[in-house]
Structure 1
Amino acid sequence: MASLELRNGKYRIVFRYGGQKFSRTLMTLDRREAKHSLARLEDNLRRLELGTLELDPAANIACVLLSSGAQIRRPSVTKPPLLGPLLDQYLSSVPEGSLEPSTFQMLNTHIGHFKRLQVG
């Protein structure tokens, strides 16, 4: 059995599963929306008890039950490539003789200044 709590103006859902108490904010101020989330969670708890819903042991149970059983994984964050190595790659890809020597020297100078001032 699950219940709703109103804390700091936002609804929170509280439930027990496997003898352990779980609680999760619903990030809503709307009671009607909170009741819908409560009904969805109770339905998924029932499906879990019946065996029609499988739970990954590493998954966050509150997230799974509130998302109708979807095993949510957070996207991995990858760092964007740094501009310095990208500029080096550009300079090495410029065909020999395609630029005047003074133009190529100017590019090297400006890129050198940029890399010196670049943070990160």
Structure 2
Amino acid sequence: MGEEFVDPFATIYLYSGRPNPVWPLSPEQWGDLNKIIQTLPSSDNEKEGPYQFSGGLGYSGFYAHFSIISSYPDVYYVVANQQAVLSNPGGHRIFNDKQKLVEKWFIDSAEKHGIHIPLVD
């Protein structure tokens, strides 16, 4: 990665053999992202343990982390399922995002930091 980011930060998971792009998020942006997720319908699916991407090649989604406040869960956007996931070591909650609101938020945030994501419509 070469560049150090202060919390919070976001990552796009591309699994391309190159480092995944990472960019900083402000605490305000983190709050905006969480507000969007809270508007999404819950899948009523809660699972034990932290969420992890499958690790397959190609674009899997986005990840946001904010460890300054330990009670905040990590955020994942899972492209294949159009879902947002709030995850902490104890478990994770899944929200359906058929309108891709969370994905669009991440794309907009990345582009504001000079990261163009050509493979996402």
The alignment's TM-score, normalised by the length of structure 2, stands at: 0.25
Higher helix residue share: 1
The alignment's TM-score, normalised by the length of structure 1, stands at: 0.25
Q: Which has the larger radius of gyration?
A: 1
